[in-house]
């Protein structure tokens, strides 16, 4: 299957700082990328959907000014957690899909990024 890579795999940051997480599609052009958040032993909660070249669509309850998403190219989307606080500590996962004949293809997931805010 297609490869989606996230970087970093884990990061520890101080409260009040910002952290950027990258999601790259390595062998296909990702027209759409999704960002999820997963708490320990919990399900994946969709945070936002981003389409290349346009603004991300955020799910209800997700602060767009806190979680900045940029999808500047067909192979890269970034999630920046601004002014991080301990409650932002979580496992963040991206997925990416491309379009084929007008329809989105299967979405492939990255390996996730564990963020710990101290």
Residues in contact with other proteins by the rule CB under 8 A = 1, 4, 6, 32, 34, 36, 41-46, 49, 59-60, 93, 95, 97, 103-112, 114
Q: For the CB of residue 85, give the shortest distance to other proteins in the complex, in Å.
A: 22
**Closer CB to other proteins, residue 11 or residue 107?**
107
**Closer CB to other proteins, residue 49 or residue 80?**
49
Q: For the CB of residue 107, give the shortest distance to other proteins in the complex, in Å.
A: 4
**Closer CB to other proteins, residue 6 or residue 117?**
6
Q: For the CB of residue 16, give the shortest distance to other proteins in the complex, in Å.
A: 26
Q: For the CB of residue 7, give the shortest distance to other proteins in the complex, in Å.
A: 13
**Closer CB to other proteins, residue 34 or residue 117?**
34
3-state secondary structure the chain: CCCEEEECCEEEECCCCCEEEEEEECCCCCCEEEEEEECCCCCEEEEEEEECCCCCEECCCCCCCCEEEEEEECCEEEEEECCCCHHHCEEEEEEEECEECCEECCCEECCCEEEEEC
Q: Are 26 and 76 in contact (CB under 8 A)?
A: no
């Amino acid at each position: 299957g297609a490869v989606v890579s996230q970087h970093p795999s884990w990061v520890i940051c101080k409260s009040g700082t910002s952290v950027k997480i990258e999601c790259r599609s390595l062998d296909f052009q990702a027209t759409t990328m999704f960002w999820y958040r997963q708490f320990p032993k919990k399900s994946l909660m969709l945070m936002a959907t981003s389409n290349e070249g346009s603004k991300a669509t955020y799910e209800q309850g997700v602060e767009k000014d806190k979680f900045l998403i940029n999808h500047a190219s067909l192979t890269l989307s970034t999630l920046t957690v601004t002014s991080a606080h301990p409650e932002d500590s979580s496992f963040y996962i991206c997925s990416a899909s491309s379009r084929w004949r007008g329809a989105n293809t299967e979405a492939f997931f990255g390996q996730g990024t564990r963020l710990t805010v101290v």
